Chains A and B, each alone.
Chain A
């Protein structure tokens, strides 16, 4: 019995090793690609004529869609920040998705909006609007009030009401940097192929000071959970997504700040309500739609447009968010599994989608198993101490390497964290996050996968403190 168990451990350890090697090889390649592309892009985009785009009539109008559900603290600063964006022609459409708090009232009071009966045509399926609020004083802003139907439903409602050829999805707890929208649009303007998705970088606003909808001072939060997330976001956005973009295999774009081509999205049937991460699902849906039609298209990810969002500040708040993300990822890869290893989709079908399905989506079960079994193997004597230490060292070493690599990219390109102290803390947390934080995230992700297979597929709400409150707390 004991021998059989040891053999079982050996086999499982081999699977873990295989997973470990595959994952780190892909990440290594992505890191090298990103060190190359992000640095060059940064140099090139520094000369991008943002001022020319702002003045140019060829810059397409954009609708900023802000779905909001119980965001009473965050919504007003978000709208103010959107109004201050440097962009020639934009419409801001806030969709109150049946909030039960003061979200709608706060917006109406702040912007002196009046109720109106406007024309609405239902192109995409959604819960229809119950009321429109508008003020000639703020002609860019339109607020729609509707029955609760989820984020995808709210976005579809906003698309139905928008008139611009492009729309940008913005989370209600997000503050966008002033030039970020025009930088997000730059690839669209500069491309000879139809760009249907353009994604930007999302950063964590916790710890920063916000004043009148503008980020006044960038600082780091105090709690280690938030600091670990900062390193994690830098890693994701500086060497995950640009790498896939380089390979023309974008599969994920963050819905917190993403530009989409309206006609293509409407043609693809809009945002789907059958997954809990509509932003991941729409990318796969669009890939399929465009390939089916035989139209040339591109999805791009650039690192210079930056938005700031509020991150969960405790593990209790973080857990539901990560479970939902993982559940959504699994739902999406299962829904679009026909793309996996389909050569018609190029790098997306042959590399990106299999990686996201087997490593990112399902693979976290192996990772979680490894997190438990490797120390367990050592404890029951199935693994020598030196080997245990080596494996742990390797895991920490690789984890630190990728995080440190992304901090390096951040320092070489965006340099958003101004103080030397910030940099040292980021470097420190690139190391610290390997002890506890990563393991917790792995377990939450594994829970998300288990939820998929056990049928618990509902949306778990993440409670935010609100950006404005964060800012006030900071000021106090």
Chain B
């Protein structure tokens, strides 16, 4: 048996090795801290020094040649990084000028070499210089793909490509398209992101092709990543999506419609859209084809696009989708109706308050609330329905949606509104959803008259929170009338009226 003492010489050498390694680590930690500190100080100084130059370049008051001459004085890694960072801030025409400066400084060539190698760099830059369209190469890669995929090699390529993707869109398009041929998933992910950021229509076929590969599980890229790139495009680019809306693969159609939906929603958040914001082809295809699609998810997502059309055709299509056999289609259709434009659909949405699926009912309640005038229908449906699930759903919406103050306001109003609000409170009592309204009842600010009405309404089925609220009111020295109502309600409980 080998004992520890037999291993003394081995242990000694091991110990020396460990101590040596410890010293190396310690030295590296200190060296790293010192050099990084120096690096960042230098970078900050360079940024301050060269910022006016880049600003002048972006403003167009300095020529690219002059900028290259001045900025080429930045030679240390920190200075070069600072200058690159400043040049990346350009947009529009400024971005084009910055790209030329990057090229003049040799950054483009350096990044390109890191990403694609020396030989291919020459070819790609020649394409750009001569304004030729991108053409892929057909040479066999001498380096094994497995080696290329190693993060040690792929991360520097991905980072270089990320820099290239920030150049002028026409340049970035060529580099990112080339990047799609890379063996590494990380590099291709950067390419996809870059292609999205170019927002060039010619990038769309490539992106759709990648999406197709993802759907058919022929790619290791993330479908979410491709979709993120696709929704970088604007509503004016949606015309280019039209041919893909009728693709034979149903999952592909779904992702195309879904991406279009996201684009519309994003544009819709900035301003109200209508039919005229879309091309006739896109409008027709969505309205005629996507709403009739054999795949329910396509129909569902189409509803969210249609709502932005805001015309009679859209209302008709939504009405049809509200009665779809698939619950998700109904769900998306009812959500799409949550817009004041679709007041005409209130009766159709109200019908969905009786939907067998709770999510649809919940969305119908929310939609009626959002439509505005729909609240009357919401309360009406709440009073009328005998379905427990539906009642619970509306009760939840009344509480979470902050509608209790609205009900109290209606109790103040008088007439039909008061009668309706009174019945709503009674229904809440019957459903034992009285905790919130009982808490509000304790607040003297709502006025004695309304409090008495609430007490009368809740007395139909007195709950524990209601009883506690009554006790709390009595401690507030209420007016004789209110005290009388409270005592009457408490007596009712004493006679066994507790729900």
Contacts and interface: CB of A to CB of B under 8 A. Distances in A.
* A and B part of one assembly: yes
A40 B154 CA distance: 10
Contacts of B14: 394
Contacts of B11: 387, 390-391, 394
Contact of B435 (A116, A401, A415): A116
B436 interface: yes
Contact of A115 (B29, B37, B401, B435): B435
Interface of A: 10, 13-14, 17, 36-37, 40, 43-44, 47, 49, 52, 56-58, 114-119, 131, 134, 136, 139, 188-192, 383-384, 386-387, 390-391, 393-394, 397-398, 400-401, 404-405, 407-408, 411-412, 415, 420, 423, 427
22 contacts: A43-B159, A44-B151, A47-B162, A56-B231, A57-B266, A117-B433, A119-B396, A131-B435, A136-B400, A188-B224, A189-B222, A189-B228, A190-B222, A192-B214, A386-B8, A390-B15, A391-B11, A398-B18, A400-B22, A407-B29, A420-B33, A423-B30
A408 B1 CA distance: 39
B434 interface: yes
A13 B12 CA distance: 17
Contacts of B113: none
Nearest to A405: B25
Interface residues of B, number: 66
A47 B159 contact: yes
B487 interface: no
B400 A384 contact: no
A10 B223 CA distance: 60
A386 B9 CA distance: 11
A57 B262 contact: yes
B178 interface: no
Contacts of B22: 397, 400-401, 404
B155 interface: yes
B33 A423 contact: yes
B399 interface: yes
B393 interface: yes
B447 interface: no
A21 to B, nearest CB: 10
B159 A190 contact: no
Given A117-B434, A427-B26, A427-B29, A393 B15 contact: yes
B contact face: mostly helix, strand, loop, or mixed: helix
B87 to A, nearest CB: 16
A189 B396 contact: no
Contacts of A14: 1-4
A146 B439 CA distance: 20
Nearest to A431: B22
A36 B399 contact: no
A57 B231 contact: yes
Interface string B163-194: 00000000000000000000000100110010
B279 interface: no
Nearest to B2: A14
Contacts of A119: 358, 392-393, 396
A236 to B, nearest CB: 18
B152 A40 contact: yes
B21 interface: yes
Contact of A44 (B36, B155, B220): B155
Contacts of A386: 8
A387 B8 contact: yes
Contact of A117 (B162, B189, B222, B399): B399
B96 to A, nearest CB: 22
Contact of B186 (A44, A58, A115): A44
Contacts of A404: 22, 25-26, 29
A163 B29 CA distance: 46
Nearest to B193: A49
B363 to A, nearest CB: 12
B4 A117 contact: no
A13 B7 CA distance: 13
A42 to B, nearest CB: 10
A173 B447 CA distance: 42
B227 A58 contact: yes
B231 A58 contact: yes
Contacts of B266: 57
B5 interface: yes
Nearest to A387: B5
Contacts of B193: 49, 52
Contacts of B498: none
B224 A411 contact: no
Contact of A192 (B222, B227, B436): B222
Given A58-B224, A411-B29, A190 B465 contact: no
B149 to A, nearest CB: 13
Given A57-B231, A58-B228, 12 more contacts: A47-B190, A57-B266, A114-B440, A115-B439, A117-B395, A189-B222, A192-B221, A192-B222, A383-B4, A394-B14, A404-B29, A411-B33
